[in-house]
DNA sequence: CATGAATGAGTATTCATTCAT
DNA sequence: AATGAATGAATACTCATTCAT
């Protein structure tokens, strides 16, 4: 039993090493330019072992993407409490920025987009279960603000996307076209303008 | 003389056939999954001829991208005249939509993004000379509207990007994750909301 | 342990088979006219395996040349004892002849010379570490003969080359221009004349 | 008629240009690494014209080699007069050196040797009609010296080769292994030693 | 269970030679 | 007679995947 669990932990750590090596390589070079042998070497396992864990390169890729997304799905259970709308929007946007820019989400998105022709269902999954789900969580927050009377009643499905579109324009879009994109100095200013704009449109009229 | 010009015309048509075949294949399958031999076959030339026209696969790719972009660069010299701001924004956005959705710009962007790790300068070129230039043209229109007094004076550099971000959220962003994305039925409604939002923020106060 | 050593032996034998096939083909047809696929087939391995062993055609070529040269480097540690000068020269020359004519050194030299424009450093290596080193060994023998009083003191650096030049004139030079060159019937007579000539020039005067 | 001869001269000059371009390229890079298209470009003709003049790359190569050799065949009609043997040997050797080192005979030999497997008859021709014929001319001179009583009667067939072997050892042999070989500073000293050695062996005894 | 050697099916690119004009 | 565009066959090299040990 001790032996069995020791073995299981070895297996798990190999799996983790493979995923890490694969992720790093995919992020660096994209899917097709990375050889399985390189991933195996970087993970310090044989190619045969690699194939024991992941039946194909495609599956390994999917696992990398799913793992990356699952890491970031959990952490958005916001209780709006009595925090002012402006602060809430700022906090949510800041959390998102951290994830996109410090985590390698932008690069990951690029890789997923690159593989749309060969792994359409995976890209779809990322979009639906990653991006849209996040929008759903954000929308829930907006709905709460409406309920609290901070914002006018309106189509929050659309307005959340409008807000997201503005924010991504400055933080994600340019990153798709350059591996070296890093947080611009004036990003906070731009974010502030996005938030102000949003509030200007949707803030409830003060009586 | 007749010979020379005859030859030139043949050469031109072959070049065009190659570009067309390459474009179709790249759009369909991405860069690395397309073999030069397939492009040659589709263009009805030998691989050797293909290489006479384009010295490498990379160069062919760059030519495809540049040609696609050059097709769309010319057509945005708008005289705002006395057209109302709302109509102008609608017209510009409609033109953009046609290009992105009917032309295959969205798919092309996907392919360019896919090649960021191996052709960073090309992606950069597309971003700077394609996307940013277009934003510049749009911004010029906005500036005119400000000058005309329709819009409040404001930082149009940022506001044009905010508008673009909102619009792309509904028309470009989802297309990056799916080859089959087609114009949603309610796209016009969403665009209308984007325009209204924009005007709500920046429209000059009526006296 | 058994596995590892088993594998090592397999690998060694494959490597040897590849080198043999490569050598035969290069000797037969020269470097550029031999396809890696042919070598692989002759060695009974796939091209991929071939490339596991030798990273490029150039490296394979270099390995073939180096192996051939290393085979012949060891065997020239002559103790002159009291053997007469004439016999010593005869023995050395005979050994050299065997190597050049029975081994395929002449053909190998041809191939190396052919690749001077594309592998200058390899040709240089063959010249400096193969040919010149051999001359050095020969010269050491000559020096001993001088020390022993059999030969006059003289510039043995040059005289050894003069002797070598004469001998090669009959045994190497014609072989460079014909793949079918084989030991001429009267070679021994010619060699004898070379030796006599050499001794006539440098033999110490009898008192 | 004037037109016809004009045309013929054009044709001739094109032929010459092709031969020149081919020669330069072959000398620089060897046979197989030179593309016919490059030769055509360097000669300022189309590939089709090139093929009008030379039916194949092999034939062009043969023509280059033959032309180079024919250039050097003519000029060795030496009247020994009363010139001393030593001077005669020096003059002949000097002429040979000029040809090998200043002309590009050494490089040409290398290229011919490289093509032995694919053009054996050409290499044979070079050896028999180039090298051996030259030895024959040299031998005739030696025979005259014997007849004049300067040298002992002996097998001049062999002795001429012995002399040639010594001389080539210092001037041709190293050049086969390096494209950059240039006349060594002490070449004249070495040649002098070769001549002295030769005379020491074969000079007639003074009475 | 883990290994790493082995492979077959590709891939981009080149080049001697031909042919329509 | 001259062109230069066109080609088919070849070539070095790669990689996802399998398998004997």
Is there a contact between A162 and B166 if contact means CB atoms under 8 Å apart? yes
Does residue B48 share a domain with residue B22?
Answer: yes
Tokens of A194: 């996005």
Side-chain-facing half-sphere of B106: CA atoms under 13 Å: 24
DSSP state of A128: I
Enumerate long-range contacts of A123-127, CB under 8 Å, 24 or more apart.
Answer: A123/B177, A123/B178, A124/B177, A124/B178, A125/A66, A126/A65, A126/A69, A126/B177, A127/B174, A127/B177, A127/B178
A91 and A51 in a common domain: no
**Residues counted in chain A:** 207
Q: Is residue A160 part of a domain?
A: yes
For residue C32, give Cα distances in angstroms to C39, C58, D30, D111, D176.
Answer: 12, 10, 11, 13, 18
The first and second tokens of residue D201, run together, are 């062996």
- Nearest-Å Rg of the Cα atoms of chain B is 21
Distance of alpha carbon C195 from alpha carbon A136, whole angstroms: 98
Residue in B32, B131, B179 closest to A116 by CB: B179
Cα nearest neighbour of D190 on chain C: C158
Token pair, residue A156, equals 């929050």
Is C141 found in the same domain as C105?
yes
- Give C10 CA → E8 C1' in Å: 21
Q: Is the pLDDT of residue B1 over 60?
A: no
Domain contains A207? no
Token pair for C119: 């592998």
Is D164 part of any domain? yes
Any domain includes C67: no
Tell me how many residue pairs between chain C and chain D have CB atoms under 8 A apart: 125
Here the tokens at position C207 are 């008192």
Least confident interval from A47-61, C66-80, D87-101 = C66-80
Cβ neighbours, 10 Å, residue A95: 14
User: C155: domain CATH number?
Assistant: 1.10.357.10
Q: In angstroms, how far is F19 C1' from C9 CA?
A: 18
Q: Model confidence at D207, in pLDDT bands (50, 70, 90)?
A: low
Confidence of residue A80 (pLDDT cuts 50, 70, 90): confident
Give the integer Cα–Cα distance in Å for A72 and A95.
10
Cα angle A52, A56, A58; round to 5: 140
Residues in chain C: 207
Shortest-distance nucleotide from D51 CA to C1': E17
Interface size A-B, in CB pairs within 8 Å, comes to: 125
Neighbour count for residue A36 (Cβ, 10 Å): 16
A27 with A111: CB under 8 angstroms? yes
Nearest to D107 by CA among D188, D182, D185: D182
A151 phi and psi, to 5 degrees? -115, 155
Structural domains in chain C (count): 2
- pLDDT at res. D82: 87
Joined together, the tokens standing for residue C176 give 């460079």
CA distance A155 to chain B (A): 10
Q: What residues of B are in the A interface, CB distance below 8 Å? A: 28-30, 32-33, 110, 112-118, 120, 123-124, 126-127, 131, 155, 158, 161-162, 164-170, 173-174, 176-180, 190, 193-194, 197, 200-201
Judging contacts by C-beta atoms under 8 Å, the chain C residues touching residue D116 are 30, 110, 176-179
Same domain, C108 and C192: yes
**Alpha-carbon C128 to chain mean position:** 12
Q: Which of B27, B114, B196 to mutate to test the interface with A (most CBs of A within 10 A)?
A: B114
Token reading at C37: 């696929």
More confident residue, D12 or A165: A165
Position C82 confidence tier, pLDDT thresholds 50, 70, 90: confident
Is there a domain that residue B68 lies in?
Answer: no
- Chain F nucleotides near the protein (CB, 7 A): 1-21
**A194 and A161 in a common domain:** yes
Nearest CA in chain C to D161: C169
Residue A194 has what DSSP assignment? H
Phi, psi angles (nearest 5°) of residue B180: -95, 5
Residue nearest to nucleotide F21 (CA to C1'): C3
pLDDT of B25 above 70: yes
DSSP, collapsed to helix, strand or coil, labels residue B138 as helix
Mean pLDDT of C3-21: 89
Q: Which nucleotide shows the minimum CA-to-C1' distance to residue D47?
A: F4
With an 8 Å Cβ cutoff, the interface of chain A facing chain B consists of: 28-30, 32-33, 110, 112-118, 120, 123-124, 126-127, 131, 155, 158, 161-162, 164-170, 173-174, 176-180, 190, 193-194, 197, 200-201
Same domain, C43 and C84: no
Contacts of C190 in chain D (CB under 8 A): 158
Q: Quote the pLDDT of residue C81.
A: 82
What is each CA distance from B7 to B3, B10, B13, in whole angstroms? 6, 5, 10
How many C-beta atoms surround the C-beta of residue B13 within 10 A?
Answer: 10
Beta bridge mates, A203: A151
Examine the domain organization and report whether C37 and C124 are in the same domain: no
**Residues pairing with B203 in the sheet:** B151
Per residue in B34-51, pLDDT (tens digit) is: 999 999 999 999 999 999
Task: Please tell me the predicted confidence (pLDDT) of residue A102.
Answer: 85
C1’ F3 / CA C19, Å: 47
Structure-token pair, residue C17:
């088979």
- Closest Cα partner for C110 from C33, C184, C18, C186? C33
Contacts of A139 (CB under 8 A, 6+ apart): A156, A157, A160
Residue D207 lies in a domain: no
More confident residue, D99 or C143: C143
pLDDT at B76: 61
Task: Give the Cα separation of A206 and A149 in Å (integer).
Answer: 10
Alpha helices, H only, A74-154? 85-97, 105-114, 120-125, 133-148
Q: Does B77 have pLDDT greater than 80?
A: no
Q: Which nucleotides of E are covered by protein (CB under 7 A)?
A: 1-21
Q: Band the pLDDT of A145: cuts 50, 70, 90.
A: very high
Residue D193: which pLDDT band, with cuts at 50, 70 and 90? very high
Token digits for B103? 């032309």
Residue bearing tokens 């001389």: D167
Structure tokens at D181: 């070989």
CATH of the domain at D10: 1.10.10.60
| Terminal-residue alpha carbon distance, chain A | 70
Q: Is the pLDDT of residue A206 over 70?
A: no
Q: What is the pLDDT of residue A99?
A: 87
pLDDT of D109 above 90: yes
Q: How many angstroms separate the CA of D39 from the C1' of E18?
A: 18
Q: Let me know: does B170 contact A161? Beta carbons within 8 Å.
A: yes
| C50 and C106 assigned to the same domain | no
C102 part of a folded domain = yes
The predicted structure's pLDDT at residue D75: 57
| Chain centroid, CA B70 distance in Å | 9
From chain D, pick out residues whose CB is under 8 angstroms from the CB of C177.
Answer: 112-113, 116, 123-124, 126-127, 131
Q: State how far residue D117 is from chain C, nearest Cα, in angstroms.
A: 5
From the list D6, D27, D188, the residue with the least C-alpha distance to D97 is D188
- Looking at the fold, whether A22 and A102 belong to one and the same domain comes out as no
Output the CA torsion B30→B31→B34→B39 (10° steps): 110
Give residue C19's pLDDT.
Answer: 97
pTM attached to this predicted model: 0.90
- The dihedral region occupied by C30, where left means phi > 0, alpha psi between -120 and 50, and beta the remainder, is left
Confidence of residue C76 (pLDDT cuts 50, 70, 90): low
Q: What are phi and psi of D143, to 5 degrees?
A: -60, -40
CA closest to C1' of F10 belongs to: C35
CB-based contact C174:C100 (threshold 8 Å): no
DSSP state of B74: S
Nearest protein residue to nucleotide E12, judged by CA and C1' positions: B36
Clarify whether residues D83 and D39 are in a common domain: no
DSSP state of A64: H
Q: CB neighbours of A128 closer than 8 A, spacing ≥ 6?
A: none
Burial environment of residue A19 by CB neighbours within 10 A (0 to 12, 13 to 18, 19 or more):
buried
From chain B, pick out residues whose CB is under 8 angstroms from the CB of A33. Answer: 32, 117-118
Beta-bridged to residue C151, according to DSSP, are C203
Q: Are C162 and D163 in contact (CB under 8 A)?
A: no
The CATH number linked to D119 is 1.10.357
Query: Which band of pLDDT confidence, cut at 50, 70 and 90, is reported for residue B206?
Result: low
- Per the DSSP assignment, residues forming a β-bridge with D95 are none
Best of D129, D197, D198 to disrupt the C interface by mutation (most C CBs within 10 Å)? Answer: D197
- Provide the mean pLDDT of chain A: 91
Over residues D169-182, mean pLDDT? 95
Residues D49 and D84 in one domain: no
First CA to last CA distance, chain B: 70
State the DSSP string of chain C. -HHHHHHHHHHHHHHHHHHHHHHHHHHHH-STT--HHHHHHHHTS-HHHHHHH-SSHHHHHHHHHHHHHHHHHS------TT--HHHHHHHHHHHHHIIIIISSHHHHHHHHHHTTTT-HHHHHHIIIIIIIHHHHHHHHHHHHHHHHTSB----HHHHHHHHHHHHHHHHTHHHHT-TT----TTHHHHHHHHHHHHHHHHBPPP-
Percentage of chain C lying above the pLDDT 90 cut: 80
Shared domain check, D169 and D101? yes
pLDDT at A38 over 70: yes
Higher pLDDT, A103 or A138: A138
Residue B122's Cβ-side half-sphere holds a number of Cα atoms within 13 Å equal to 24
For residue C188, the model assigns a pLDDT of 95
What pLDDT is recorded for position B164? Answer: 97
Q: Angle CA(C17)–CA(C19)–CA(C21) in degrees, nearest 5?
A: 70
Nearest nt to the CA of D55 via C1' is: E17
SS3 category, D151: strand
Residue C70 has pLDDT above 90, yes or no: no
Boundaries of domain holding C131: 75-202
Q: Which nucleotide is nearest to B52 (CA to C1')?
A: F5
Three-state SS at B38? helix
Q: Is the pLDDT confidence value at A73 over 90?
A: no
Do C and D make contact, counting contact as 3+ CB pairs within 8 angstroms? yes
- Residue at a domain's end among B16, B34, B60: B60
Name which of B31, B106, B117 to mutate to probe chain A: the one with the most chain A Cβ atoms within 10 A of its Cβ: B117
B164 closest CA partner among B100, B81, B118: B100
D6 near D45, Cβ under 8 Å? no
CB within 8 Å: B120 and A179: yes
Residue B207 pLDDT greater than 70, yes or no: no
The reply to whether residue A190 touches residue B126, judged by beta carbons under 8 angstroms, is no
User: Lowest mean pLDDT: which of C116-130, C184-198, D59-73, D174-188?
Assistant: D59-73
Q: Could you say which of A29, A114, A127 has the minimum Cβ distance to residue B174?
A: A127
Chain C residue nearest residue D31, CA to CA? C114
Residue range A158-169: mean pLDDT, rounded:
97
DSSP state of A40: H
CB contact under 8 A, C116 and D170: no
- Span D83-98, average pLDDT: 93
- The predicted-structure confidence for B101-127, as pLDDT tens digits, reads as follows 888 899 999 999 999 999 999 999 999
> Among B77, B64, B54, which Cα is nearest to B125's?
B64
Does the residue B65 lie in any domain?
Answer: no
What does the block give as tokens for B78?
């708008």
Residue D174 clears pLDDT 80, i.e. is over it = yes
Reported as a single tens digit per residue, the pLDDT across B117-176 is 999 999 999 999 999 999 999 999 999 999 999 999 999 999 999 999 999 999 999 999
């Amino acid at each position: 039993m001790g032996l069995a669990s020791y073995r299981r932990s070895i297996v798990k750590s190999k799996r983790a090493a493979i995923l890490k090596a694969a992720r790093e390589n995919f992020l660096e070079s994209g899917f097709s330019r990375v050889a399985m042998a390189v991933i195996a070497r970087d993970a310090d396992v044989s190619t045969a072992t690699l194939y024991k864990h992941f039946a194909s390169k495609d599956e390994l890729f999917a696992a990398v993407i799913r793992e990356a997304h699952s890491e970031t799905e959990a952490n958005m259970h916001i209780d709006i409490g009595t925090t002012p709308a402006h602060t809430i929007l700022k906090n949510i946007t800041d959390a998102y920025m951290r994830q996109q820019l410090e985590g390698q989400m932008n690069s990951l998105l690029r890789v997923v987009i690159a593989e749309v022709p060969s792994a359409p269902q995976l890209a779809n999954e990322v979009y639906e279960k990653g991006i849209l789900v996040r929008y759903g969580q954000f929308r829930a927050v907006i709905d709460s603000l409406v309920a609290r009377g901070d914002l006018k009643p309106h189509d929050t499905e659309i307005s959340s996307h409008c807000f997201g579109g503005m924010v991504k324009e400055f933080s994600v879009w340019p990153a798709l076209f350059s591996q070296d994109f890093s947080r611009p100095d004036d990003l906070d200013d731009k974010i502030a303008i996005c938030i102000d704009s949003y509030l200007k449109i949707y803030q409830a009229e003060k009586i």
